Structure 1
Amino acid sequence: MKKQFAVIGLGRFGGSVCESLAKQGMEVLAIDTDEDKVSKFANIATHAVVANTTDENTLQSLGIRNFDHVIVAIGDNIQSSILTTLMLVEQGVKSITVKAQNDYHEKVLNKIGAHRVVHPERDMGIRIAHNIVSKNVLDYLELSDEYSIVELMAGKKVAGKSLVDLNIRANYGCNIMAIKQGEEINVSPNADDFIQQGDILIVIGADTDIQRMERSLFDEDEG
């Protein structure tokens, strides 16, 4: 049975979530107060409606409590975002993800019962900053304030060496979760697997340990 999602707020973030869910074959209800935005998603979402989600009766009429997951992606109106989230919590929605504008907004959302709070702009900014600072970091995912997953490009320093040679866990406290070689992905690689130049290593660990490992094994001399 298909999962049912509702996306409230069809700006760049909400619209992107809505489109992605629809492409994955999910049933999606797209909601916004702006008629033009709703009409844009009429042929993308399963249903698209103009509605004010800060009104309890409106949410009840939409049957919002029957949805598996509701994403609140309201843009700049923090008050509407908070009120909508509060209404969803009160109506017993099983899973609520909310886009936060700032840390204060996040604190309020957590206190009133949002199940997950996301900062898409902040998170993308962090990822871009890591990519700019280091040419070895291809992608970056923050798991917490101290732990992350990164994709690192293997250079000459590690090429031709096995995982047991590098002994990354003992030396740096990090774990290699997978190695990408072209189109092939080796999940949970063995200690005797060899790394080739250009391979992509997917590494999990504390930020300080990852940085130490990167400086030691992945920083290549220019030229």
Structure 2
Amino acid sequence: MFGSGSNGRKQDHDGSRQVAVIGLGRFGSSLALELAAKGVEVLGIDSDHRLVQRYAEELTETAVADSTDPEALQQLGLPDFERVVVGIGTHLEASILTTSVLVDFQIPYIWAKAVTRQHARILERIGAHHVVSPEYDMGERVAHLVVGRMLDYIQLDHDFALIKTVVPGWLQDRPFAETRPRSRYGVTVVGLKRSGEDFSYATEQTTPRRGDVMIVSGTVDAVERFANDA
């Protein structure tokens, strides 16, 4: 647990198991609770005392503070944290100023939530290491699922994605060495799952059956074309 040092926290700690989450709204609180459930020590910070009180028993420590005030964060020991998440979304100025303060503290890993692309660009420019856009990312993901035949879609980079989809008829009962989906579509079948079993790595000798589910990787265009043509 966070101890009592000169700044309110112990100096000897495992930085990967201690995270500060600033902003306990819907995104920040969900993240903080998930981290806590995984055994991570979480310091939750918000300017709203009602939110802080709501999560006081579920997080390692909580505090009411103005996160745009460097002195307030200094007193909470934020400079000693290796990982900090800025979950402020509705107040863009507070989000940007808070992130700027953390950058000045030279925090090694800063995650910041963005609500628009312009907001994201500003956060990246001032030094946030990871910028997440939950609403935009989810909208883009669902759009792929709605118009295609994918069961799930994860974009790992601007032009690379993983999809989960049911094995199409032309791939059934023949090994991948024979059907050659990579040569035909430029995609790689990463894994295969049969009903009641776990996913297993796919090889050229893997022979999918009707109803099997597979994980396929490739460029965004390639996996979309594969899923839509299946």
TM norm structure 1? 0.91
1:55 paired residue number: 69
User: How much does 1:94 deviate?
Assistant: 1.1
User: How much does 1:211 deviate?
Assistant: 2.1
Measured in 2, the distance between the counterparts of 1:157 and 1:83 equals 55
Cα deviation, 1:40-97, whole Å, max 9, x if unaligned, reads: 1111111011111100001111111222210101021110000000000000111000
Cα deviation, 1:73-124, whole Å, max 9, x if unaligned, reads: 1021110000000000000111000001111111111111100001101111
Asked whether 1:205 is paired with 2:218, we answer yes
For the aligned residue pairs, the C-alpha RMSD in angstroms reads 1.4
Of 43, 53, 56, 1:39 maps to 53
2:154 paired residue number: 141
Measured in 2, the distance between the counterparts of 1:168 and 1:23 equals 40
Measured in 2, the distance between the counterparts of 1:36 and 1:160 equals 59
Q: How does 1:120-199 map to 2 (within 5 A)?
A: 120-134=134-148, 136-182=149-195, 183-187=197-201, 189-199=202-212
1:30 paired residue number: 44
Measured in 2, the distance between the counterparts of 1:52 and 1:10 equals 13
2:3 paired residue number: none
User: How much does 1:173 deviate?
Assistant: 1.1
Measured in 2, the distance between the counterparts of 1:165 and 1:14 equals 48
Measured in 1, the distance between the counterparts of 2:28 and 2:76 equals 18
2:4 paired residue number: none
2:10 paired residue number: none
Measured in 1, the distance between the counterparts of 2:123 and 2:91 equals 14
SS in 2 for 1:157: helix
1:14 paired residue number: 28
| Contact 1:3/1:68 (<8 A) preserved | no
SS in 1 for 2:131: strand
Measured in 1, the distance between the counterparts of 2:76 and 2:216 equals 44
TM norm structure 2? 0.89
7-16 or 78-87: bigger deviation: 7-16
Measured in 1, the distance between the counterparts of 2:176 and 2:82 equals 42
User: How much does 1:36 deviate?
Assistant: 1.1
SS in 2 for 1:125: helix
Alignment identity in percent?
36
Q: Any runs of at least 4 consecutive aligned residues in structure 1 with deviations exceeding 6 A, and if so which?
A: none
Measured in 2, the distance between the counterparts of 1:144 and 1:51 equals 35
User: How much does 1:203 deviate?
Assistant: 1.2
**Any unmatched runs of 5+ in structure 1?**
219-223
Asked whether 1:80 is paired with 2:78, we answer no
Amino acid at match of 1:168: P
Amino acid at match of 2:66: N
User: How much does 1:157 deviate?
Assistant: 3.1
1:96 paired residue number: 110
Measured in 1, the distance between the counterparts of 2:179 and 2:26 equals 43
Measured in 1, the distance between the counterparts of 2:167 and 2:203 equals 17
SS in 2 for 1:201: strand
What number of residue pairs does the alignment pair up? 215
